[in-house]
Amino acid sequence: MRIDIITVLPELIQSPLSHSILKRAQEKGLVEIYFHNLRDFATDKYKSVDDYSFGGGAGMVMKVEPVFRVIESLKSERNYDEIIYTSPDGIPFSQRLANELSSITNMIILCGHYKGVDQRIRDHLITREISIGDYVLSGGELAAAVITDAIVRIIPGVISDETSALTDSFQDNLLAPPVYTRPADYESLKVPDVLLSGNAKEIEKWRFEKSLERTRKLRPGLLEKNEDAE
Ligand code: ADE
């Protein structure tokens, strides 16, 4: 997979994508991530990427020319399956959408800024608009980092234990069960016996029950989406 991220603040997004699982995924060649500074595609001598909103109103708007230039230059080199724009008014990001996006080959993510981008960009270049939640961030970089992380970690081969990503919270619209590690007894705080029993079937059953219990208590709405849980 190749991900091209267009931003006015490359430093803000480079770091979260260069550690741990994301770093290993890139070292293994399972994903290539490129950062493009929008300012490098500005067309005037001040390198401006934003301007006042037609019709007045507070806040600047991301200009059309630099965004068209960078996206058209990328599109002239390869086909893109998705051109994503991060914005609080996009569709809500979810595990299901992460799963869907994890199987595509090339994608661009345009990080929104200021009051938003000129609508012509949304109308003519963008294929999906994604929000990471009903709150407003200072810019789309953190949202792009969240989306990229969630997508890349589930690309086959990225997590060495193949089943690990499949047992994450939300994969079956269920929250993950509790987990424990050594010691089995910490000052009389004990790990449930079943996990020490070595009985794989019983352990699987216990985990499923705990997942259901947690989901019922914390996120009952998820169960309505889940036929298996009935
Ligand atoms: N940019 C600002 N807020 C955002 C959000 N909640 N999701 C995606 N992009 C954003």
pLDDT confidence of residue 163: 63
Residue minimizing CA distance to atom 4 of ligand 1:
88
Tell me how far the alpha carbon of residue 163 lies from the centroid of ligand 1, in angstroms.
31
Residue minimizing CA distance to atom 6 of ligand 1:
88
47 falls within a domain: yes
Specify whether 147 is located in the same domain as 186: no
160 falls within a domain: no
Q: Please identify, among 96, 126, 152, the residue that sits at the C-terminal boundary of a domain.
A: 152
Please tell me if the CB atom of residue 137 comes closer than 6 angstroms to any atom of ligand 1.
yes
Q: Which residues contact 162 (CB under 8 A, 6 or more apart)?
A: 156
For 84-107, what is each residue's pLDDT tens digit? 999 999 999 999 999 999 999 999
d(CA 32, CA 205): 39
Q: Are 87 and 137 in contact (CB under 8 A)?
A: no
d(CA 77, CA 198): 54
Most ligand 1 atoms within 8 A of CB, residue of 136, 141, 142 to mutate: 136
Q: For residues 191-208, give the mean pLDDT.
A: 98
Please tell me if the CB atom of residue 211 comes closer than 6 angstroms to any atom of ligand 1.
no
pLDDT confidence of residue 176: 93
Specify whether 105 is located in the same domain as 192: no
57 falls within a domain: yes
Tell me how far the alpha carbon of residue 175 lies from the centroid of ligand 1, in angstroms.
24
Please report which confidence band the pLDDT of residue 229 belongs to, taking 50, 70 and 90 as the band edges: very low
For 102-124, what is each residue's pLDDT tens digit? 999 999 999 998 789 999 999 99
Residue minimizing CA distance to atom 9 of ligand 1:
87
The number of helices, as runs of H, and strands, as runs of E, in the chain is: 10, 9
Specify whether 146 is located in the same domain as 174: no
d(CA 8, CA 40): 9
Q: For residues 156-171, give the mean pLDDT.
A: 79
Residue 171's SS3 state is coil
Q: Are 95 and 168 in contact (CB under 8 A)?
A: yes
Specify whether 29 is located in the same domain as 108: yes
Please tell me if the CB atom of residue 54 comes closer than 6 angstroms to any atom of ligand 1.
no
Q: For residues 125-137, give the mean pLDDT.
A: 97
| Ligand 1 atom at minimum distance from 112 CA | 1
Please check the confidence at residue 61 and state whether its pLDDT lies above 60.
yes
Please tell me if the CB atom of residue 132 comes closer than 6 angstroms to any atom of ligand 1.
yes
